[in-house]
Structure 1
Amino acid sequence: MSTFKAPKGTYDLIPPVSETFLAVREALAAPLRRAGYGYVETPGFESVELFARGVGESTDIVTKEMYAFTTKGGDELALRPEGTASVLRAALEANLHKAGNLPVKLWYSGSYYRYERPQKGRYRHFSQVGAEAIGAEDPALDAELIILAVDAYKSLGLRTFRLLLNSLGDKECRPVYRAALQDFLRGLDLDDDTRRRIDINPLRVLDDKREAVQKQLTGAPMMRDHLCEACKTYHEQVRELLTAAGVEFEDDPKLVRGLDYYTRTTFEFVHDGLGSQSAVGGGGRYDGLSEMIGGPELPSVGWALGVDRTVLALEAEGVELHVPASTQVFTVALGEEARRTLFGVVTELRRAGVPTDFAFGGKGLKNAMKSANRSGARYAIVAGERDLAEGGVQLKDLQSGEQAPVALGEIVAELRRKLV
C-alpha cells in the first residue's frame, strides 16, 4: 500500500487509459496544425495580477478557485487556471504581433488548476487543448476556429455534441445592455453574493445554474436585442459561414461563459451524456484583453477544449478509439548467448521503426510468453542456443499461433514486410 496518494481532486494518467488521452490530445490538435497554428508552451504559474486583470476579478475563478501563493522572493504567483491570458502574455512579450502577418495563430496543450469541489468531469487539475488567433477582427477567423473544433470532435467519432452560439456585443453596445440588465436584476430576490455580482459583472448572473435564480430571469433583457448594427452584421456573417460549412449550431441568448474578457462571438460545445458537467469546450472573441493586460489593441479569438471531458463524452457514446498497440514485436531469449543476440535484434528493430519489447528479468519460456501475450504484440521472436546454432530464430504469430523459423539476418526485413 502506497504511503502517498494523488492530491484530492486530481488524477494520475497511467497506461492503458493514458494512451486514450494522448490520442484525444493529438486529434484535437491535428486540425489546428493543418490550419497554420504554431505550438506555444507557457509556464505552469504566472503573476496573480495577469489573471486578476485578464480573467476578471469578479469571476469565481479569481475570487474562489485560483491556487495563489507568495514566493520566497515575495512575488505573488498563481497556478494557471486557464490558457488564454498566459498565451497572450507570451505573444506580447515576444512581440509576435510585430513579427509578420496578423493574426498570430497559436495552439497549446497542458494542465490547468482550479480549487473546485471535485466531481466527475470537474477536477482541480485538468487538461486542455487550446487555440488563439491574435490580432485580427474577422468573422471568418471566428468561424475557422469553431469549424476546426467541430472537425476535431468529429474525427474522434463524437456525434451527439451540440454547439451553442451567442454574441456579447462590443464596447459600443454592451454598456447600454449592461445598464438595462442591472436595472432588471436589482428588482429580483437574490443573495448578497449575487447582488454584488450585479455591480461588477451582471452578465454572469445569467450564467447562474441555480434553479431559484433561473426562474427569476424570465423576461430578463437579452444582449441580442441590444446589439449595435456592426455587431449584428458581424454575428450574422459568422452564422452564415458556419452554415455554409455544414456546421449546425443553436442560438443561446443566455450564453455568457465564465470569463470576463469575451466580446461578440461566444460559443460552447456541450454533450448531454455528461450530466451537470455538460460543457466539453468553448471560447469566443476577446477584443479588449490585450489592452487589459497592458498590451496594444489586438482583437483576438480563441477556444479551449477539455481533454478530460472529451474522454468522458467518448465513453458516454460508447466510442472506443483505435489506439495502436505500443508493442508490435515481443522478443523471448532462452539462454545467455540468445539474450545478447536478441537484445541486438530488439535495438535493430526499434531503429527500423518497429515498436519492440524484450523479456527482461530472465523469465522462463512459459512466463515470457504470457508477457508477450499481455503486451498486445502481434509477433513474438523466440530463440534458444539451438536456434542460433542453426542461424535462425522462431517467429510466432500471436494471433494465429503459427510458428516458423526465420534466418537471423532476415528477421528485421521479414517483420517490416509483415507489419506494413
Structure 2
Amino acid sequence: MPFSHLGLSSALLNAVQARAYQQPTAIQNDVIPSLLAGRDVLATAQTGSGKTAAYCLPILERYLQQKKPAHRTVQTLILVPTRELAVQVGDTLRSLSQAFSQSPKLAVLFGGISINPQMLHLRGGADIVIATPGRLLDLVSKNSLKLDEVSCLVLDEADRMLALGFADELQQVLKLLPAQRQNCFFSATFAPNVTSLAEALLHDPHRVNIPSTEEGKPDILQRAVLVDAKQRTQLLRHLFQSEKWSRVLVFVATKYAADLISTKLRRAHISAEAFHGEQTQGKRSQVISDFKASRVKIVVATDIAARGLDISQLPVVVNYDLPRSSDDYLHRIGRTGRAGEAGIALSFICADAANEAHFRLIEQRHGFKIPREQVPGFEASAESLATTEAIRPQDPNGGIKGKRPNKKDKLRALQKTIGE
C-alpha cells in the first residue's frame, strides 16, 4: 500500500517524497490509519522499523487540520527516555514540516544543558513538545509551559523509560494531562511494569505487533571473531584499516573503556571520540554531528547509544564488549542496516569460557548461530580456544542481566570443564 492510501494530505505526501520514503513500512501501514482515526495505539516492532515516522506523520496531519489559535498551546506531547531520541524525533518532525506554509513550533526539551534557553524558547507557547520527563517537570514547575490542553500523548521506548528510573516522573506528568486525550504507546518489550502502565494508560487500543520476518529484517551481516581480550584494540584498528570501513560505531561496557579506547585510536592517528553519559550535552551533540559528517570515523560508546541514535548509512557496528542483555544486542546492531541499507555487525568474542557461554545464550535467545572467525595475526591462544570449545552453558539464564551466575558458579563450571 503506498503512502497516498493512508489518508495523508498532499503536503505530507510531498514531504514523504522529498525524504525519499519509497513505501510505508509494516508499522507505518498499521499505525498511521489508526492514529488518524483518533484511536489509542499499543505498538511493538523491531528496531529500524520506521516507528518514528509512524507517529510523526499523523501528528503533523492533525496539526494541519487544526485551527491555529492566536496563542499557541501544547497539543501534542512526545515523551522519550534519552536526549538523543528527543533530538532525533525533533529532526524528523522538522524535516517533514519544513515545506508547510505555517510550520508547527517545536520544543525539544532535555536535561544536561542550561534550562534558560529552553524557557526563552517556550515564550509564546509551542505546538508540539518532545521531552524527557525530568526536564519537562522542571519547566512546568517554573511555569514555562502548561499541559492541560494536550490532546495527544506519545510514549516512545516506554520500556527504556522505566528501566532508566522515570516511573515516578512519568506518573507526575500523567497527572498534569487532561483525562480525554489520544495515547500512542511504543515499547520494544513488555515486562510486567510496562504492561501495567499500558493497561492503565490506554483505552481500547489498536494493538500492533510487527514480528521479525526474513523479509522485514534489516540487511545486517552478523559476524563473530574469536580474539584474546588484550588484542581487541589492535584488532579493531586492523579491521578498520584493512576492510576500509568508512565509519564505525563501537560498543563498550563502561565510560572508562570508551575514553581509553578512543584515546588509543587517536594516538594511532584514527579520528575517534568517546560517547557516554558523563559528557556534557554539548560534547555529545558535537560528537554525533562530527560522526554524521564523517569528521569522526570511530565513535566508542556505551549503551546510551544503543537506542534513539539514528545515523544514516552507518556501515559497521562492533561489539567490543558484549552487551549485558540479549535485548540490548539487537538494539546495538540495529544502529546499522537502517532504511534499506546493508550493514555489518561484528562481535568480539573473548576466548574464555564465560564470554563464549554468554554469546551462545544471545544466539539461543534470538534463534541464530553465527560462525566463529579468526583473523590472521590475531588468533586466540590455543589454551583459550580449548576452553572456549569445551564450555557448554548449563544454566539457560546464565549471562543475562539480573540472572547471571555468581563467581562460585563460574568457577565450578570452569573446573568441571577442565576436569572433562
Q: TM-score, normalized by length of structure 2?
A: 0.26
Higher alpha-carbon Rg: 1
Q: Which has the higher strand share?
A: 1
Q: TM-score, normalized by length of structure 1?
A: 0.26
